[in-house]
Amino acid sequence: MSEWIRSRIRIIPDYPKPGILFQDVTTLLKDATGFRKAVDELVQPFAGAGITRVAGIEARGFILGGAVAHQLSVGFVPVRKAGKLPGPTIAERYELEYGADALEIHSDAVQPGDQVLVVDDVLATGGTAGAAIALLRRKQAHVVGGAFLIDLVHLGGNERLTGLGVPVHALASSTNADDPVF
């Protein structure tokens, strides 16, 4: 699966700032067969796991997470950047590899005991996913795992989430900062 995913993702150097190799998954999303296969592979390890909600992280995590929620027949929770949700929210600040930001969910997005799967396109440092996990846990939800298209293992996000007790499932991974594709 890793090479298959890699072949469908465009790398954009120096975006959003110099030194960043941006993993553009829109090339995968526009491929109907590829998109379907990726969603099926993200769902597979969690089918039958009792998940009650999928939390998708803005923005590409919305696309993937919505499709995963549909496949699992569960509700979807948008995890958005600050100021984007209309109702009462809770927020969590976090650090990115290229700055700082905050995420929010609606105050009533999850209930205590909900079994939640966090979905996003890329796991890098784990700051964004870690903030999403913190938000969900503040509402007493149980985060059963994180599902990602790409895990940039050398940036430490996998280790960070695992340290939080959240298993990581990724369709492709890079363990080396010199990897020419990732």
Region 80-102 average pLDDT: 89
pLDDT digits (tens, 9 = 90+) for 107-142: 999 999 999 999 999 999 999 999 999 999 999 999
Q: How confident is the model at residue 3, as a pLDDT?
A: 86
| Interatomic CA distance for residues 74 and 97, integer angstroms | 32
Strands 99-106 and 75-81: antiparallel
Q: Among this protein's residues, is 97 annotated catalytic?
A: yes
* One-letter amino acid of 157: G
Which residue in the block uniquely carries the two structure tokens 């846990």?
137
Distances (CA, A) of 19 to 14, 44, 98, 154: 5, 34, 10, 15
Q: How confident is the model at residue 20, as a pLDDT?
A: 83
Catalytic residue among 41, 97, 137, 138: 97
| Interatomic CA distance for residues 71 and 138, integer angstroms | 26
Ranges of each domain in the chain: 2-174
* Assigned CATH class of 2-174: alpha beta
Backbone angles phi, psi at 130, to 5 degrees: -60, -40
Strands across the sheet containing 89-96? 89-96, 99-106, 75-81, 53-57, 115-123, 142-152, 168-174
Catalytic residue among 6, 8, 53, 60: 60
* One-letter amino acid of 142: H
User: Can you read off the two tokens belonging to residue 96?
Assistant: 């990115």
Q: Look up the pTM and report it.
A: 0.94
Region 48-65 average pLDDT: 97
